Amino acid sequence: MKISTKGRYALRMLVDLAQRQNEGYIPLKDIAERQGLSKKYLEQIVPILNKSDILQTCRGFQGGYRLAKSPDKYTVGDILRITEGSLSPVACMDYESGQCQRNEHCPTLYVWQGLNRAINEYLDSITLQDILDHQNEQIIDYVI
């Protein structure tokens, strides 16, 4: 499994918005500048996030984007599933239980099930708030 640029940039954008959740609507150009990302590329990601009700949008002079809910309500797993689709390490994990033709006779199925479970449990255990908290701990650790 490899996370695409779309997934990585969406996560960075949402972390940026989480850091500024009390500042109102944030223009996309400001996010792009701070994150060193292409505004055009972020413009392609925004509709995906809007469709999933992750963002609130305000048009006009003071317009921009903000999170629809608090950062502790968004997991990395949810965000990556929205932008990437499946997080399964192999195609047979995308099937409903029993749909794979080799399901009953596959000697390696338990390996893929375990890996799939580990990936999903790990990514679902991390929220945007956890990322902010970790970042704040890093900053505090280096202050002399």
Give the CATH number, domain containing residue 35. 1.10.10.10
**pTM of the entire predicted model:** 0.88
Compute the average pLDDT of residues 77-95: 90
Burial class (CB in 10 A: 0-12, 13-18, 19+), 51: exposed
Taking the C-alpha atoms of residue 134 and residue 71, their distance in angstroms, rounded to an integer, is 13
- Per the document, the length of the chain is 144
Q: Residue 97: is its pLDDT beyond 60?
A: no
Q: What is the pLDDT of residue 138?
A: 77
Q: Residue 100: is its pLDDT beyond 80?
A: no
3-class DSSP state of 27: coil
Q: Residue 101: is its pLDDT beyond 80?
A: no
Q: What is the pLDDT of residue 82?
A: 96
Domains identified in the chain, total number: 1
For residue range 9-63, list pLDDT tens digits in order: 999 999 999 999 999 999 999 999 999 999 999 999 999 999 999 999 999 888 9
Q: What letter represents residue 101's amino acid?
A: Q
Q: What letter represents residue 107's amino acid?
A: P
DSSP code per residue over 24-37: --B-HHHHHHHHT-
| Residue-range definition of the domain harbouring residue 35 | 5-141
Question: Which residue from 18, 83, 77 is spatially nearest to 52, judged by alpha carbons?
Answer: 83
For residue range 67-84, list pLDDT tens digits in order: 999 999 999 999 999 999
